[in-house]
Chain A
Amino acid sequence: MKVLITGMGAVSSLGVGVGTMFKSLLEDTSAIRHYPEWAQYQGLGTHLGAPVPEYDISRVPRAARRTMSRMSEMAVVATGEALQMADLNIGNHVNSPRVLICMGSTTGSPSTMETYFKKLFERGGPEGQLGTNFFKVMNHSVAANVASALGFRGPVMSPSSACATSAQAMIMGWELIQSGMYDIVIAGGADELHYTSAAVFDIVQAASRGYNDRPQQASRPFDQARDGLVVSEGAGVVILESEKSAQNRGARSYAEFLGGSYFCDGTHMSQSNASAMCEVMNTSLDRARIQASAVEYINAHATGTIQGDAEEAKAIGEVFGNRVPVSSLKGHFGHSLAACGAIEAISSIKMMEEGVLIPTRNLSSVDPSCSQVLHVQEKRSTRPKVVLSNNFAFGGMNTSLLLSLP
């Protein structure tokens, strides 16, 4: 059974809306900025982040909005765009057991957690806590708030696999539609920028510290001078739909979701592992019934870390050799954590649509440890028919998915 993408929505550091976001990519924009105020946090070496510009959440009623942190708000806006693009009136499916909302985040809202625990410790107990706070920090906050904003009363699930979350949500959606369980899956993920998220990577020496005074040059996937990732935020949502459902609705299809897989490497929580990456890419090709030779562009996860980028280049080289163009978008967006899988899949679909490959930003000099693949260093006019997108996460979570034009 074919699974199509009939809608896409993005709230990203490069703009709100898929069109705005892709225009910024075409213009080679960096969303990364310096946060001098982060210098107050003892031991935090990275002072860089890539925030989402202003978005409008005012149309959502207060009763739904009161339990939303920033990540849920962004997810609601992205879902609204995706539904609109899909011409899908969720009101018609409000009680449908055939429609699933499947989206998550790395954790609950870190900014709310900070507020909550600060007060908890100051007061020695829960006195003075807002009743709405818990709904911003619970693990399924994003999915539940999106459902609440839509008035959706059908099935909801909330996968959480850190930086692979939205990729996993999409692959799970593909699996569930393939199984015949659902006709439509609203899949994605969201995360919000907070210094504690940056600190997670800073503590394990994976965040960029050397470019605090040159933010536009920070986040340098595969580059010799890379020194770590820059944390971003955002939300990415796609509407996955069975071909039959799309045909019955007369819906336009933007891409076909060919398949994918999500594996845990089972060996290390934080160190990337090329052989595990190979395994997830090969399994994804098998599940999509696609030969490696059919893939014409690879959107790498490559976040700009020393080890992760080298392992991914090695893995891609082993599976595909050096003939497939490869680029990472982390130099533009930063790393939007749970959102990046969907945001990068959407960006890859736009590349296919527009017939252009976006190069890796800040890749001036390819590091010898990353030289096994064909890097896209300048914008390239070509229309790949099949693309593969990788996303890897702490916990040893590896995902790979394949897309084509419909």
Chain B
Amino acid sequence: MNHAEIVVKVNELMHRGFEIPEDKLTPTATLFDELGLDSLDAVDMLVHLEENLGIKVDAQKLVAVRTLQDIYDMVESLAPQSQAQGQLSH
């Protein structure tokens, strides 16, 4: 997956999984303050990322994640070992 594909996949997941309007999905948007997620959502987001993008995320890494760009970067750092697996399955 290249960066553009990751952005599309993550944004699709955030829109469908958490009902965030697409126009709010900008790289600098903060997950908790601007996109309205909380710690419970973060756990589910982790599961969705793993199942839909075929990656394995160390939960500790989420602590440093603040913005959507941080998610893109985290996925990009993990994606080379795996492949995207299609549709959101939550």
Binding site for B on A (CB under 8 A): 62-63, 66, 128-132
3 smallest A-B Cβ distances: which pairs? A131-B43, A62-B19, A130-B44
Q: Tell whether B40 is near chain A: CB-to-CB under 8 Å.
A: yes
* Cβ B90 vs Cβ A128 within 8 A: no
Quick one: closest B residue to A62, CB to CB? B19
Interface residue total, chain B, C-beta cutoff 8 A = 12
**Contact A131-B51, Cβ < 8 Å, known A62-B18, A63-B36:** no
Interface Cβ pair total, 8 Å cutoff: 22
Task: Select from chain A the residue with minimum beta-carbon distance to B40.
Answer: A131
Contacts of A128 in B (CB 8 A): 47, 50-51
Please name all residues of chain B whose beta carbon is closer than 8 Å to the beta carbon of A63 when the two chains form the complex: 36, 38
Say whether chain B's binding surface is mostly helix, strand, loop, or mixed: helix
Residues of chain B from 40 to 59 with CB closer than 8 A to chain A in the complex: 40-41, 43-44, 47, 50-51
Give B51's nearest chain A residue, CB to CB: A128
Q: A130-B47, A131-B44, A131-B47 are in contact. List 19 more A-B contacts (CB 8 A).
A: A62-B18, A62-B19, A63-B36, A63-B38, A66-B40, A66-B41, A66-B44, A128-B47, A128-B50, A128-B51, A129-B47, A130-B43, A130-B44, A130-B90, A131-B40, A131-B43, A132-B40, A132-B43, A132-B44
Closest residue of chain A to B46, judged by CB? A131
Instruction: Tell me the minimal C-beta distance from A47 to chain B in angstroms.
Output: 28
How far, in whole Å, are A66 and B90 apart by their CA atoms in the complex? Answer: 11
Shortest distance from the beta carbon of A131 to any chain B beta carbon, whole Å:
3
- Sample of 22 A–B contacts (CB below 8 Å): A62-B18, A62-B19, A63-B36, A63-B38, A66-B40, A66-B41, A66-B44, A128-B47, A128-B50, A128-B51, A129-B47, A130-B43, A130-B44, A130-B47, A130-B90, A131-B40, A131-B43, A131-B44, A131-B47, A132-B40, A132-B43, A132-B44
Closest residue of chain A to B90 (Cβ to Cβ) is A130
Q: Is the interface of A mostly helix, strand, loop or mixed?
A: loop
In the complex, what residues of A have CB within 8 A of residue B19's CB? Answer: 62
Residues of A within 8 A of B18 (CB): 62
Those of B2-51 within 8 Å (CB) of chain A = 18-19, 36, 38, 40-41, 43-44, 47, 50-51
- The minimal Cβ–Cβ distance linking B60 to chain A, given in whole angstroms, is 15
Q: Report the minimum CB–CB distance from B14 to chain A (whole Å).
A: 12
User: Would you give the shortest CB distance from B37 to chain A, in whole angstroms?
Assistant: 9
Give the docked Cα–Cα distance between A128 and B52 (Å): 12
In the complex, chain B residues whose CB is within 8 Å of the CB of A130: 43-44, 47, 90
Taking the nearest CB of chain B, how far is it from the CB of A138, in angstroms? 14
Closest residue on chain A to residue B42 by CB atoms: A131
Inter-chain CA distance A132–B40, complex, in Å, is 7
Q: Output the nearest chain B residue to A131 by Cβ-Cβ distance.
A: B43
Q: How distant is the Cα of A65 from the Cα of B40 in the complex, in angstroms?
A: 13
Docked CA distance A128–B47 (Å)? 5
Instruction: Looking at the assembled complex, report how far the CB atom of B78 sits from the nearest CB atom of chain A, in whole angstroms.
Output: 16
B24 to chain A, nearest CB (A): 13
Q: How far is the CB of B35 from chain A (nearest CB, A)?
A: 12
